[in-house]
Chains A and B, each alone.
Chain A
């Protein structure tokens, strides 16, 4: 029993990292041509969007809520950025990010001030933001050629190392500061673990909520902008589709409890790459993508069951 308890704790804390290791190892043995540095670069560039979205989702889930709208906020930021590129890259990116931030703060205000369930509010935003994104260009793909902008995602250091490898630590560092070093990170986790207890201890619930959803959207917007820089076009219809699901999956698999509370930052990071690696494994072994879905689903269920078991033991 004692061992079982600690094993469960271990699984929910480091499970994602172990799984990533096992998956890499398994691939190295069984997948042809897997051992090449390019695989790592692919993993980093393709897993980037899921990771950034998952970092934001992690805050929402930790606070006791959820944000279903990230996949639709992505194209809003992307379309606004793409549409303003000729006015200057800095201007365009800021405009895109600002739009994402506003949508997120809107979510936060409705949830925090009007006390509507996050699920409902962000589901509405999921539909609304997609609509907004499509309105910007009549549901048509916006193409652009702007080398300076696409370098954001395409640049390879020494023609080898993708620029994402430098950007990812910036995002992780930002979240690390929020989660571990800042008052708001503490407030988020306290409110998610015991809302009433936190409120009675003077935690500013409304402000914290607005921060959470604002930040979550902002990160989604950033993910959207980096994504179109990689693709070289912005498609309001498909960009970001289902990203929220991969993000939620990464957070849960990473060991942050679905019911809110203590954040597992490193778990989220590893799990985001696990989600991507599953897809890549399927691709490289000519397994159809449907199986990748099923494997992902099984993983999520296993992660949630491990969480449940651990909390029941308490």
Chain B
């Protein structure tokens, strides 16, 4: 089916106040092609997608979709023309069943009544045709993220989309689920539907994509077949300097000794956290490995008092502590970077300055009066240290790219001079360059004596950065790996061994 042009963009430009977000970009998608759109944050990927789906208007250039010149004024027009977008946050209705979501707005009707039997039958047939096995009567919200993702894709296909834009569809999926999604994408590809695929996980690009287009600073770098590209080349082209700088930077693993800075004993909350023991020493980076839903996030949220602890004890520097609120935890020297930057990290309409100084307000104020100069100096210092790219401190944080937003939030915590910093997926959804910088910062903080508790679904990242890794499964710690024991194989092995002997380990 490939070879027929589905989308042709020529000379696309888009200017925002102060920046040229897209500069004369050419971009094409063939029918039945999965085309990766790559680039660091701020390279222009989202701007291109937003123009294509009618959210932004272009300043210059032409777009030909399916042989017809188009210029969408809004998302509805784009959808009507056959361009659908699958976002990380899905626009489905969790309270309705899978089948209802699939037929939302166009339920088959017989004699004025919704033909439930027909809906279920058709949904079943349609989904299994795409290789999706799911109970169509089940409430969508009760399905895994992967299934929800696939229902969204299936809905787009059933709406006769001819171009699917998948913006980070895999970022909240586990490895197995990614495989299933890719299977579905293969089926759709065979139907001649074109797909634009955006992901920060480079391995996925080589696994699923036919061609790759790389953007940098709003300009087209190159479009070429994925097969002609190595990971090394891809990173080099994306960041515009040699990839060696950011890859292979495994730090020398250190022996950390001394008293525990932080200690959790038998921490319990609901079914997700079932009695976890864990300690972190001064200057140590401890990783939490595990599958999605293993209870890692729930555990650290409980420790930070973001959620209520049902049982267990926590010690800081040998003394038992009990936090009533995150505020109390912050006062005692904890910091917590949430995995969901958008919902739990940034304060979108406040400025970079206000976001960065939020947790240190008590330190930069006297009797509730903010000492502006002190605040500015702190923000200046950490903006420089973390190399935050922003026109000035007063910029609303929502205008920054994802990587820069993350740096601001990280700076928010670094500025508190925490004793223990909990980082939940600190590099999720940000580009390789910023990712490398954040990993370096983690090491630096550890060297300054901060204890770091790191969660990441990228094993490589854990192996690269951690002095010790605790493997979590079903709300329990299965094993701890230390020093030379740490390797991706060892973590994977302990995870799979645990599932084979699940009963014994679970006890």
Instruction: List A residues at the B interface (Cβ < 8 Å).
Output: 1-2, 6, 181-184, 186-187, 189-190, 193-194, 196-204, 257, 261-262, 314
The minimal Cβ–Cβ distance linking A267 to chain B, given in whole angstroms, is 14
Instruction: Return the chain A residue nearest B362 by Cβ.
Output: A183
Known: A2-B15, A200-B326, A204-B327. A194 touches B57 (CB 8 A): no
| Binary per-residue interface labels of chain B (357-384) against chain A in the complex, 1 for a CB within 8 Å, 0 otherwise | 0110110010011101000000000000
Q: Is B112 an interface residue (CB 8 A)?
A: no
In the complex the two chains form, what is the Cα distance from A124 to B321 in whole Å? Answer: 39
CB-CB under 8 A for A183 and B344, given A199-B326, A203-B327: no
* A-B residue pairs, 5 tightest by C-beta: A202-B330, A1-B57, A202-B327, A201-B358, A183-B361
| Distance in angstroms between the alpha carbons of A2 and B15 in the assembled complex | 8
New A-B contacts (20) at CB < 8 Å, excluding given A189-B354, A193-B347? A1-B56, A181-B370, A186-B354, A190-B350, A190-B358, A193-B350, A197-B343, A197-B344, A197-B347, A199-B306, A199-B326, A200-B304, A200-B326, A201-B358, A202-B329, A202-B358, A204-B327, A257-B349, A261-B347, A314-B398
> Quick one: which of A184, A190, A198, A261 contacts B368, CB cutoff 8 A?
A184
Within the assembled complex, what's the spacing in Å between the Cα atoms of A204 and B370? 16
Residue of chain B at shortest CB distance from A190: B347
A202 x B359 contact (CB < 8 A): yes
B327 engages A193 (CB within 8 Å):
no
Task: Report the Cα distance A285→B282, complex, angstroms.
Answer: 76
When C-beta atoms are compared, the residue in chain A nearest to B351 turns out to be A262
Which residues of chain B are within 8 angstroms of A189 by Cβ–Cβ distance? 347, 350, 354
Question: Cβ of B398 and Cβ of A200 under 8 Å apart?
Answer: no
Interface assignment of B17: CB less than 8 Å from any CB of chain A: yes
Q: Which residue of B lies closest to A204 (CB)?
A: B327
Q: Which residues of A contact B365 (CB under 8 A)?
A: 182-183
In angstroms, Cα B344 to Cα A198, docked, is 8
Query: Does B331 reach chain A (CB closer than 8 Å)?
Result: yes
When C-beta atoms are compared, the residue in chain A nearest to B58 turns out to be A1
Q: Which residue of A lies closest to B337 (CB)?
A: A200
Q: Contact string, B249-292, partner A, CB cutoff 8 A, digits 1/0?
A: 00000000000000000000000000000000000000000000
Instruction: Collect the chain B residues with CB atoms within 8 Å of residue A184's CB.
Output: 368
Taking the complex as formed, is B336 at the interface, i.e. its CB lies under 8 A from any CB of chain A? Answer: yes
**Interchain CB contact under 8 A, B56 and A203:** no
A199 to B323, CA, bound (A): 14
B348 interface contact, C-beta 8 A: yes
Report chain A residues within 8 Å CB of B345.
Answer: 197, 200
Contact B350 A182 (CB under 8 A): no
Indicate if B346 sits at the interface (CB-CB under 8 A).
yes
Contact (Cβ within 8 A) A196 B344: yes
Contact of B344 among A1, A200, A314 (CB under 8 A): A200
A sample of 22 inter-chain contacts (CB < 8 A) reads A2-B15, A181-B372, A182-B365, A182-B370, A190-B358, A196-B344, A197-B338, A197-B347, A198-B358, A199-B325, A200-B306, A200-B326, A200-B336, A200-B338, A201-B358, A201-B359, A202-B330, A202-B331, A202-B359, A203-B358, A314-B348, A314-B398
Cβ of B74 to closest chain A Cβ, rounded Å: 10
Q: Nearest Cβ distance between residue A214 and chain B, in whole angstroms?
A: 14
Smallest distance from the beta carbon of B422 to chain A beta carbons, Å?
10
Q: How far, in whole Å, are A198 and B348 apart by their CA atoms in the complex?
A: 11
- Structural contact, B369 and A182, CB atoms closer than 8 A: yes
Question: Which chain B residues lie closer than 8 Å to A261 at the CB level?
Answer: 347-350
Residues in B9-45 with C-beta less than 8 Å from chain A: 15-17
**Minimum C-beta distance from A210 to chain B (A):** 14
Q: Which residues of B contact A182 (CB under 8 A)?
A: 365, 368-370
Q: Tell me if B477 is interfacial: C-beta within 8 Å of chain A.
A: no
Whether A193 pairs with B348 at a CB distance below 8 angstroms is: yes
B468, CB-defined interface residue at 8 Å: no
Query: Contact mask B385-403 → A, CB, 8 Å, 1/0?
Result: 0000000000000100000
**In the complex, residue of chain B having the shortest beta-carbon distance to the beta carbon of A184:** B368
- B412 interface hit (Cβ, 8 Å): yes
What chain B residues lie within 8 Å of A198 (beta carbons)? 347, 358
State which size class the interface on B falls in: 35 or more
Chain B, residue nearest A260 (CB):
B349
Given contacts A200-B306, A201-B358, A203-B358, contact A186 B327 (CB under 8 A): no
Chain B contacts for A257, CB-based, 8 A: 349
Q: With a CB–CB cut-off of 8 A, which chain A residues contact B348?
A: 193-194, 261, 314
Q: Which residues of B contact A186 (CB under 8 A)?
A: 354, 358, 361, 370
CB distance from B467 to the nearest CB of A (A): 26
B residues near A203, Cβ cutoff 8 Å: 327, 358
Q: Are A2 and B370 in contact (CB under 8 A)?
A: no
Taking a contact as CB atoms under 8 Å apart, the answer to whether B370 and A262 are in contact is no
Provide the residues of chain A in CB contact with B325, threshold 8 Å.
199, 204
Contacting residues, chain B, for A181 (C-beta < 8 A): 369-370, 372
Cα A201 to Cα B354 in complex, Å, equals 12
Looking at the assembled complex, report how far the CB atom of A101 sits from the nearest CB atom of chain B, in whole angstroms.
18
Complex Cα gap A101–B143 (Å): 48
Q: A1-B57, A202-B326 are in contact. Are A193 and B358 (CB under 8 A)?
A: no
Q: Which residues of A contact B354 (CB under 8 A)?
A: 186, 189-190
Q: How far is the CA of A121 from the CA of B349 in the complex (A)?
A: 27
Look across to chain B and name the residue whose beta carbon is closest to the beta carbon of A259: B349
A204 to B346, CA, bound (A): 17
How far does the Cβ of A197 sit from chain B's closest Cβ, in whole Å? 5
Chain A hits for B57, CB < 8 A = 1
Among the listed B15, B329, B343, B349, which residue makes an inter-chain contact with A262, where contact means beta carbons less than 8 Å apart?
Answer: B349
Cβ of A205 to closest chain B Cβ, rounded Å: 8
By the criterion CB–CB under 8 Å, are B16 and A2 in contact? Answer: yes
Closest chain B residue, CB of each to CB of A198:
B347
In Å, the complex CA distance between A198 and B346 comes to 8
B350 touches A201 (CB 8 A): no
In the docked arrangement, what's the CA distance between A1 and B369, Å?
41
Complex contacts, B59 vs chain A, CB 8 Å: 1-2
How many whole Å from A204's CB to the nearest CB in chain B? 5
By beta carbon, the residue of chain B nearest A187 is: B361
Contacts of B304 in A (CB 8 A): 200
Min distance, Cβ B499 to any Cβ of chain A, angstroms: 32
CA distance A139 to B16 in the complex (A): 60
Q: Which residue of A lies closest to B56 (CB)?
A: A1
Q: How long is the Cα–Cα vector from A197 to B359 in the complex, in angstroms? A: 11
Contact with A along B286-310 (1 / 0, CB 8 A): 0000000000000000001010000
How many angstroms from the CA of A196 to the CA of B56 in the assembled complex? 29
How far is B341's CA from A194's CA once the two chains are assembled, in angstroms? 11
How close is A64's CB to chain B, nearest CB, in angstroms? 12
Q: In the complex the two chains form, is A201's CB within 8 Å of B412's CB? A: yes
Q: Which chain A positions have C-beta within 8 A of B16?
A: 2
List B contacts of A202 (CB < 8 A).
Answer: 326-327, 329-331, 358-359
User: In the complex the two chains form, what is the Cα distance from A197 to B362 in whole Å?
Assistant: 17
Q: Among A6, A183, A187, A196, which residue has its beta carbon within 8 angstroms of that of B343?
A: A196
Instruction: Look across to chain B and name the residue whose beta carbon is closest to the beta carbon of A207.
Output: B327
A262 to B354, CA, bound (A): 11
Q: How far does the Cβ of A12 sit from chain B's closest Cβ, in whole Å?
A: 11
Q: Name the CB-closest residue of A to B375.
A: A186
Distance between A251 CB and nearest chain B CB, rounded to angstroms: 16
CA distance A200 to B326 in the complex (A): 6
